[in-house]
Amino acid sequence: MIRACLAMALALLLPQGHAVAAPQACDRACLYGLTDQWLEAVQAHSSGALPLAKGFRYTENGVEMPAGEGLFQTVTGYTRYRARAADLRAGEVAVIGEAIEGEKAVTFATRLKVVGRVIAEAETVIGRSFATAHPSMPTTARPGLQTIVPKQARISRKAMIATVQRNFDNLLKNDGSHFADDCQRIENRMPMSGNPQLRYPITPIEGKPVPPFGSMGCRAQVEAHLFDTLDRVDPRRIIVVDEEQQLVFGVFSLRFYGRTECNDIPGYGRTCPTRPRGPMSLLSAEMLGVRGGKIHEVEVIFTRVGYDAEQGWPAEAGETTARR
């Protein structure tokens, strides 16, 4: 009885309609500000000043570690290569970029989960697969990854997610119809499509001129069966859906070479590696520009992992996951 009276008295003292203060939402500027704080803390080699939630959790390349470890110990700076996406509804933000480790540059993708203006989760994928001196590598991220799309040109959140799911479904069917004509795929800052300077990493067939795989666009490469060795994409964690920029960011496990190590290229023939590769996976953080129901940009930060490697987070973490 006494507790009930005290509760009633407290309620009367509070302003009408404001008995409980709702946590202030973190808008785009807030999410980007926390991203900047994170990157600055990594460069400063200390997580001490970061607003981290109780129970904060962090992984690098799928391995859990304390904040302040991993890249916090190695990064000395950043290049101009950077793009960001923010999901105001989910309280998630993602950044892709390039960091300096000693005299070398490495690509990275980091996503932060923000709850009540503090960071509850952080996840980073680091790509170290290519030398950064290749002349075809861009020095800045593409405009399509950094532009607010006019409202009248946007598709819905649901349609954006469906387009990304169709992307992975179609890779497994050698169907590139979901790609826009201007689509280009960049992996760890290396343009892997639309790049005449690239000698595509596929074994030549003796006595036959190699097709210009590097010069092909996203659709042509898929329909040339360059993804024949992809078994499945599982899990698919779609995490950030930026409805204003029409960008989708997620972390995906691409499982390769469990079924075949060969590609059957239409009009060219069957090509297999000179040395067996064995099953492996790519832990792949991807930012996809999705406009008009087509994919215009594919930005990938990946690292090679074991075939059955997990991502370090529940498979169902993210807005939607499909097992195919």
- Are 91 and 222 contained in the same domain? no
Residue 130 has pLDDT above 60, yes or no: yes
- Greatest Cα-to-Cα distance within the chain, rounded to the nearest angstrom: 93
Average pLDDT over residues 94-111: 95
Q: What range defines the domain where residue 221 resides?
A: 149-305
Number of domains in the chain: 2
Q: Return the CATH number at 211.
A: 3.10.450.50
Q: How confident is the model at residue 4 (pLDDT cuts 50, 70, 90)?
A: very low
The C-alpha atoms of residue 96 and residue 249 are separated, in whole angstroms, by 10
For residue 222, what pLDDT is reported? 98
> Has residue 278 been placed in a domain?
yes
- Are 187 and 72 contained in the same domain? no
> Has residue 176 been placed in a domain?
yes
- Give the tens place of pLDDT for each residue, 47-61: 999 999 999 999 999
> Has residue 33 been placed in a domain?
yes
> Has residue 84 been placed in a domain?
yes
> Has residue 10 been placed in a domain?
no
- Are 291 and 199 contained in the same domain? yes
Q: How confident is the model at residue 128 (pLDDT cuts 50, 70, 90)?
A: confident
- Give the tens place of pLDDT for each residue, 202-260: 999 999 999 999 999 999 999 999 999 999 999 999 999 999 999 999 999 999 999 99
Average pLDDT over residues 122-149: 92
> Has residue 66 been placed in a domain?
yes
Single out the residue in 127, 160, 190 at which a domain terminates: 127
Average pLDDT along the chain: 91
- Are 66 and 169 contained in the same domain? no
Per DSSP, the three-state class of 35 is helix
For residue 143, what pLDDT is reported? 97
- Are 270 and 216 contained in the same domain? yes
The C-alpha atoms of residue 272 and residue 257 are separated, in whole angstroms, by 11
> Has residue 218 been placed in a domain?
yes
- Concatenated DSSP letters of 71-131: GGGTEEEEEEEEEEEEETTTTEEEEEEEEEETTEEEEEEEEEEEETTEEEEEEEEEE--S-
Amino acid at residue number 299: E
- Are 78 and 176 contained in the same domain? no
- Give the tens place of pLDDT for each residue, 148-197: 999 999 999 999 999 999 999 999 999 999 999 999 999 999 999 999 99
- Angle at the Cα of 29 from the Cα atoms of 24 and 31, rounded to 5 degrees: 70
- Are 104 and 176 contained in the same domain? no
